[in-house]
């Protein structure tokens, strides 16, 4: 049997259409399939990217002509709907505007008729921090749900960076330039930020934190070569400035320079083996390289290094198990995610995958009952 899109019909090998099909997302499969056959075919995945809060929902088979819908809901971190003034904008990853709208009285929004591609979602509201999220509407689903949580401007907790040797050696003048650059960067005034950071490193040539921020400005300016050099300079100036390792590895990953990204992350782990974020990023990198067993090991190491790691790491681990067709292990981690963060940003996609796994025998009834009991015990 072969699957073709016209725009989503199933044909047998003789070219005759099969009518008794079922649909999950945009995935078609005949009702004659048995559970053992189905278990050998992973047709729904949720894929997590993040460092900047990236969401990808994909399927192994999709109809090329399917138009997708992106829906979402905007609330505060406490789940309270903001009644007015919330603007939601959508553009392609190349900056082409797709649409803009305000949320309704329930905080909901919807963009329809979208093609399978990368998008950037931006949510703004007076008195709240701007929210951005990269979204890749993927194969296998014609509907994507996004939960957006806004932070009030006046209650954000700013974590003081850990002191660095290069911080202590920087001149007061350089520090003032750095602080001005930070404020400009937060306001998206990239040219001003660049000038301030350049002044900071001119006054204190080995001010690692300023080199790192200058690299981030370069990335926003799409000057990847300059960003690479500035991250390298930050690492050379102060090997304990760990943000430079993460930033450079992400830059290499985005450019699909995977071996270089892996080397940088391994160097970061050598510098700071207790930093769980390095293992998580390494897991995401190995996943992108389709080295799923290594990815699994990385995420497990992240959780061992810091048992209080964000639930996103659990979702990453579940996705690695899915790719390895270890459905029971994936199911356990997905249910763990739902217990720890039932309203998390990946909860909608996880619920869909869990439903499919339960319905089509990808996990045993005994495990389903066990996880249900465990969930009931936590409430």
CB 108 within 8 Å of CB 102: no
Closest CA to 316 of 336, 254, 305: 336
Tens digit of each residue's pLDDT (9 = 90 or more) over 106-136: 889 999 888 888 888 899 998 888 888 878 7
β-partners of residue 58 are 45
Closest CA to 217 of 261, 186, 240, 253: 186
Please report which helix (H) or strand (E) contains residue 113, including its range. strand 108-114
Say what the pLDDT of residue 144 is: 62
Return the residue matching tokens 């009952």: 369
- The 8 Å CB, 24+ separation contacts for 324-330 are 324/292, 324/293, 324/296, 325/39, 325/40, 325/42, 327/39, 327/357, 327/362, 327/363, 328/363, 328/364, 328/367, 330/357
Say what the pLDDT of residue 266 is: 97
Query: Which domains does the chain possess?
Result: 64-155 (2.60.40.10)
Backbone angles phi, psi at 181, to 5 degrees: -65, -40
Name the pTM for this structure: 0.60
Tens digit of each residue's pLDDT (9 = 90 or more) over 185-209: 988 999 999 999 999 999 999 999 9
- Please report how the helices 327-340 and 347-359 are oriented relative to each other, as an axis angle in degrees rounded to 10: 140
Contacts of 120 (CB under 8 A, 6+ apart): 90, 91, 92, 93, 132, 133, 134, 135
CA dist 72 and 137 (Å) reads 13
Tens digit of each residue's pLDDT (9 = 90 or more) over 220-241: 999 999 999 999 999 999 998 9
């Amino acid at each position: 049997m072969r699957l073709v899109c016209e725009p989503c019909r199933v044909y047998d090998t003789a070219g005759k259409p099969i009518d008794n099909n079922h649909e999950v997302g945009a995935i078609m499969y005949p009702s004659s399939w048995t559970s053992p056959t189905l278990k050998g075919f992973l047709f729904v995945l949720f894929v997590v990217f993040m460092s900047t809060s990236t969401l990808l929902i994909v399927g192994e088979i999709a109809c090329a002509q399917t138009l997708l819908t992106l829906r979402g809901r905007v609330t505060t971190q406490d789940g309270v709907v903001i009644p007015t003034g919330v603007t939601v904008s959508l553009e392609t990853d190349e900056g082409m505007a797709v649409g803009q709208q305000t949320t309704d009285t329930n905080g909901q929004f919807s963009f329809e008729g979208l093609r399978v591609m990368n998008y950037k979602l931006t949510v703004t509201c007076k008195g709240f921090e701007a929210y951005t999220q990269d979204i890749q509407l993927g194969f296998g689903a014609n509907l994507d749900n996004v939960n957006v949580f806004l932070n009030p401007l006046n209650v954000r907790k700013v974590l003081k960076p850990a002191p660095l040797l290069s911080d202590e050696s920087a001149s007061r003048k350089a520090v003032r330039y750095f602080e001005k650059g930070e404020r400009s960067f937060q306001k998206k005034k990239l040219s001003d930020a660049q000038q301030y950071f350049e002044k900071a490193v001119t006054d204190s040539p080995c001010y690692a934190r300023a080199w790192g921020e200058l690299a981030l400005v370069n990335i926003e300016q799409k000057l990847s070569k300059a960003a690479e050099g500035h991250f390298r300079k930050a690492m050379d100036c102060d090997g304990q400035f760990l943000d430079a390792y993460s930033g450079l590895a992400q830059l290499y990953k985005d450019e699909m320079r995977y071996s270089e990204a892996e080397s940088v992350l391994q160097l970061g782990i050598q510098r700071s083996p207790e930093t769980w974020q390095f293992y998580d990023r390494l897991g995401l990198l190995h996943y992108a390289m389709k080295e799923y067993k290594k990815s699994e090991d990385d995420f497990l190491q992240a959780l061992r290094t810091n048992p209080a790691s964000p639930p996103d790491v659990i979702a990453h681990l579940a996705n690695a198990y899915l790719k390895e067709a270890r459905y029971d292990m994936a199911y356990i981690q997905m249910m763990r995610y739902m217990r720890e963060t039932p309203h998390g940003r990946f909860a909608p996609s996880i619920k869909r995958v869990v439903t499919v796994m339960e319905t089509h025998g990808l996990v045993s009834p005994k495990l389903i009952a066990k996880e249900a009991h465990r969930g009931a015990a936590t409430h």
